[in-house]
Amino acid sequence: MTDSPAQPSLPPTPPSPTAGKKPRAWQRMLSGRRLDLLDPSALDIEIEDIAHGLARVARWNGQTSGDDIFSVAQHSLLVERLARAQTHDLDRSWRLAVLLHDAPEYVIGDMISPFKAMIGGDYKAVEARLLAAISQRFGLPVRWPQALVKLTKAADRAAAFLEATRLAGFSEGEAVKVFGRPPRLDASLEAAYLSPWRAQEAKERFLARFEDIAR
């Protein structure tokens, strides 16, 4: 029986340049800041970066009607407006907190709720660390009072209902089951907040509202 010819030996696989190294966990911002997602520092957070990022992050994974995305920046302004409508004497710091409630998404994007539910706690931990650093940066409590959390969630759900039915193709009945029934908005407010803006307009309006509250 003839022996099989010897197979040529292959050169050893070179080690990966990242072998033994921790994966990169920071993102560079246009301001030049470098924000570490594992250990975010308030010193690396700039409102210009937040506004720029949120104006370019799409709500509903972009599944909304119109030529432009409905951005997280625009959503944040809608939520803050709804919170003011619910509580007419809302404290300045609380208005600022509501405006910034989704600010971590300038780094991690807007993950849709069904996917958040699938992956569970890890995402929430990263989000919470970022929100704590953002809160510290702008003079808000690192741990929000429960009443503020409750107000923000109510306004956020109301905004989600309006966006779902006006922009994302939900029927009223379907949206009520998912988000509950929101307070009624007058037609002028709907027109002002529920027609998607271009990214630059969303950024400028977010920054203007921030400055109006923070000064």
What pLDDT is recorded for position 12?
60
Q: Would you say residue 23 has pLDDT above 80? A: no
Distances (CA, A) of 34 to 55, 109, 126, 131: 19, 17, 16, 16
Q: Would you say residue 202 has pLDDT above 90? A: yes
What pLDDT is recorded for position 191?
81
Could you state, in order of their start, the residue ranges of all structural domains in the chain?
33-214
Alpha helix (H) residue ranges in the chain: 47-54, 72-86, 92-99, 105-108, 113-119, 121-137, 146-166, 172-179, 187-193, 199-214
Q: In angstroms, how far apart are the furthest CA atoms of the chain?
A: 95
What pLDDT is recorded for position 110?
81
* Better pLDDT: 95 or 121: 95
Class (C level, CATH) for 33-214: mainly alpha
% pLDDT > 90, the chain: 70
Per-residue pLDDT averaged across 164-191, rounded?
88
Kindly provide the b/e burial profile for residues 3-23, where b requires at least 16 CB atoms within 10 angstroms of the residue's own CB: eeeeeeeeeeeeeeeeeeeee
Instruction: Take residue 170 and report the two structure tokens written for it.
Output: 């939900």
Q: Mean of the per-residue pLDDT values for the chain?
A: 88
Pair 140, 42: CB distance under 8 Å: no
Per-residue pLDDT averaged across 76-104, rounded?
94
Most confident by average pLDDT, 20-24, 95-99, 107-111: 95-99
CA end-to-end distance (rounded Å), the chain: 91
CA dist 203 and 73 (Å) reads 7
pLDDT digits (tens, 9 = 90+) for 103-161: 999 999 887 666 666 666 677 888 999 999 999 999 999 999 999 999 999 999 999 99
What pLDDT is recorded for position 9?
58
* Better pLDDT: 63 or 189: 63
* Better pLDDT: 202 or 37: 202
